[in-house]
Structure 1
């Protein structure tokens, strides 16, 4: 089996689509189809069920999946060991929560880029749950996440300590005024959302509606318009010029503290680019 074919196989499996895999890999679609067919002939088994829209892994495809991930990972690691000489260079993919990317990372990323200009640094934002999945699926090299880390395959190091506050429309002065208000949250998998839901269950104060929004600015805009409340780091508001439109309500300490962790795969030898990024993050702790 060729590593190139396994990379193509993994991309098709991830997207469930030959056309999307071709787009990601910058191949023509017929080339991706031909390489998958070649791999199936080499293994003498079908790896995908062809459907009217996309493809789906067969039993044999599922069996190959973890082996393919390991082979591609080890190939990448071998290349890194041989070529990773001198200054950090190459591609580095980092996952992050949107709040961390917006508030904590800009100056750090700027410093990293100035210090290591030969590194192609890419940032992928999303909820903690999604970032951990990307890390386990070898889609990112490291990730900044919050909440409990229960994966034995990952190493977690403290990056930032956040104070979470209840953010409400301006004029709200106490929690008692918040009954039956809508909560505005990121999509499922967000650690701050999970913490908010735990607090609401503990307080016995469950709003009648939850609205999911895709960005910090969207959540803050809706709060300032009086639409609802949210649960975010205090640092998010402290950087804003329009603080008068918001009320910050402190919460009990067991709900107001959350650690942001930098996580990476335990079994993988980090590249120099990764090691430099990790050192810079951990220095902030």
Structure 2
């Protein structure tokens, strides 16, 4: 087995599709199909069920996936060990919530890039649940997330403390003023969305509609237009409010704050690139 073939296998398994894996890896589809077939011949086992739309892992495929991920990760660690004999270099992929990436990370990433230009830094944004899954699948090296984290699986360190505020259209001081309550949020898996839903439930502010967005600008623009309300970090709201075309309100008690954690996998040799990034996060001014 070649490392390259294992990487192809992992991509096909995670995407449940040969065509999507080919696109992700920048290969032609026929090459991916041929490499998977060769891998099956070498192992004398069928790894995927072929369906009309996509593929699905067989029992043998599930067994191989765990080993393949560990082998690829060990290969990456070996490369990092050799590269880490001098200054930080290689690849470093970081996952983050959209809000953290927009406000907390720009200056930090710029400082890191200036100090360590030989590191290929990659930032992937998405809800906390998606970032944790990417970390489990070895697609990123560390993530900034909020909410409950399984500390048996990960190293969890406090990165930022955020004050959460209720964002409303101008003129709204009490949700009793709002008819047909609508909340404007990121897709499922977002920690701020979950916090807002819990707050509404405990406050008895029901029922409500949910509209999902893919960006902070989309949420705030639609709040300003009067479409609904949202829960966001105060740091984001203040940064994104040059024309003050919406209002924000402090929330008392447990719902008014949330910790952003920096999370890494357990039992993994930390690369020099990750080590200096982690130190930069923990020792920022």
* TM class by smaller structure: over 0.9
Distance 1:207 1:215 in 2: 25
Shift, 1:210, TM fit: 0.7
1:284 aligns with 2:284: yes
1:164 aligns with 2:167: no
**Structure 1 SS opposite 2:244:** helix
Shift, 1:54, TM fit: 1.8
Distance 1:240 1:25 in 2: 36
Change (3 A) 1:235 1:203: same
Q: What is the number of residues matched between the two proteins?
A: 285
1:191 aligns with 2:188: no
Shift, 1:242, TM fit: 3.6
Match of 1:152 in 2: 152
**Structure 2 SS opposite 1:227:** coil
Superposed structure 1 runs of 4+ greater than 6 Å apart: none
Which stretches in structure 1 are left out of the alignment for 5+ residues? Answer: none
Shift, 1:241, TM fit: 4.2
Query: Structure 1 stretch 153-162 or stretch 51-60: which is displaced more?
Result: 51-60
Which stretches in structure 2 are left out of the alignment for 5+ residues? Answer: none
**Structure 2 SS opposite 1:74:** helix
Is the CA contact 2:128–2:191 (under 8 Å) kept in the aligned structure 1? yes
Distance 1:132 1:218 in 2: 24
**Structure 2 SS opposite 1:228:** coil
Cα deviation per residue 1:164-190 (whole Å; 9 max; x = unaligned)? Answer: 000000111234324641000100000
Cα deviation per residue 1:125-147 (whole Å; 9 max; x = unaligned)? Answer: 00000000100110000000011
Match of 2:96 in 1: 96
**Structure 1 SS opposite 2:195:** helix
Is the CA contact 1:69–1:137 (under 8 Å) kept in the aligned structure 2? yes
TM alignment of 1:266-281, pairs within 5 A: 266-281=266-281
Cα deviation per residue 1:96-135 (whole Å; 9 max; x = unaligned)? Answer: 0000001111111111111111111110000000000100
Distance 1:178 1:162 in 2: 26
Q: CA RMSD in A?
A: 1.4
Shift, 1:243, TM fit: 4.9
Distance 1:66 1:81 in 2: 23
Shift, 1:28, TM fit: 2.3
Distance 1:280 1:207 in 2: 44
| TM-score (norm. length: structure 2) | 0.96
| TM-score (norm. length: structure 1) | 0.96
TM alignment of 1:69-218, pairs within 5 A: 69-178=69-178, 180-218=180-218
Match of 1:38 in 2: 38
Is the CA contact 1:165–1:234 (under 8 Å) kept in the aligned structure 2? yes
Query: Structure 1 stretch 151-160 or stretch 21-30: which is displaced more?
Result: 21-30
Is the CA contact 1:164–1:231 (under 8 Å) kept in the aligned structure 2? yes
Is the CA contact 2:185–2:210 (under 8 Å) kept in the aligned structure 1? yes
Cα deviation per residue 1:137-167 (whole Å; 9 max; x = unaligned)? Answer: 1000000001111241100111100000000
Match of 1:17 in 2: 17
Cα deviation per residue 1:221-269 (whole Å; 9 max; x = unaligned)? Answer: 0000000000000111211344532111111221111000000001111
**Structure 1 SS opposite 2:45:** coil
Match of 2:67 in 1: 67
Is the CA contact 1:183–1:207 (under 8 Å) kept in the aligned structure 2? no
